[in-house]
Amino acid sequence: MTSREEYVPDGAIARRIAKVTPYFPFKGIDRFYDIGGFLADPEAFSLAVEVLTERYRQVEFNSIGGLDARGFILGPPVALALKKPFFMLRKKGKMPNCILGSSYSKEYEGTDSLGIPRGAVKPGDKVLLIDDLVATGGTLIAAIDLVKRCGGSVIEAACVVELKCLNAAEKFKASGHQDVPIWAMMSESILTLDGLNDPSIPTDGYVDDGAPH
């Protein structure tokens, strides 16, 4: 893969990554996608990082922000490849010397808030946000709010998959962030086909641990 135009979210590379990204019901959500599968598969993980790197190689921006917590896994290797600074957007109470944003509703239950390191985003900075999953969009909206509050802008929010059934795009419009595009690495349809229905991936004995996250 040598250019962003060669990658499509339902193509061969996406299907290779999808084979190790099954979905399961979790905490009342019918489809919860676990990226742990491709983290355990070096080839798939390398492909995922390459896809993200090539998509933004020719794009002008200043830094990459990773959302708590799986954005911390995907963001740093992309930042290293593109020689961009990386910063974490962490949940309340987990990071000193930060600016806290307003609370947001989580996709499972309850509310939370995000913090951003002081000085991570300067006025005029263009930021790429990375996370594994966009569900209701609450966490992402909170992250964009924080970047804009610091005087920056978000060029795009990249994720592995977007749960379109939860209408994050509509919530973006209501929040005033319709100027920020969401890009999903993989089509949800191929994750359904190549994930849960792949006979090479065992699904029996799955248990929702029921613990708060």
Q: Which of 93, 79, 151, 156 is nearest to 120 (CA)?
A: 151
**6 given a catalytic annotation:** no
Q: Which of 31, 55, 70, 90 is catalytic?
A: 70
Q: Which of 31, 55, 90, 107 is catalytic?
A: 107
Bin 83: left if φ > 0, else alpha if -120 < ψ < 50, else beta: left
CA atoms within 13 A on the CB side of 45: 14
**Alpha-carbon torsion angle 170, 174, 179, 185, nearest 10:** -30
**90 given a catalytic annotation:** no
142: three-class secondary structure by DSSP: helix
120 Cβ contact partners less than 8 Å away, ≥ 6 residues apart:
63, 65, 85, 87, 150
**C-alpha span between 49 and 11 (Å, rounded):** 16
Active site residues: 70, 107
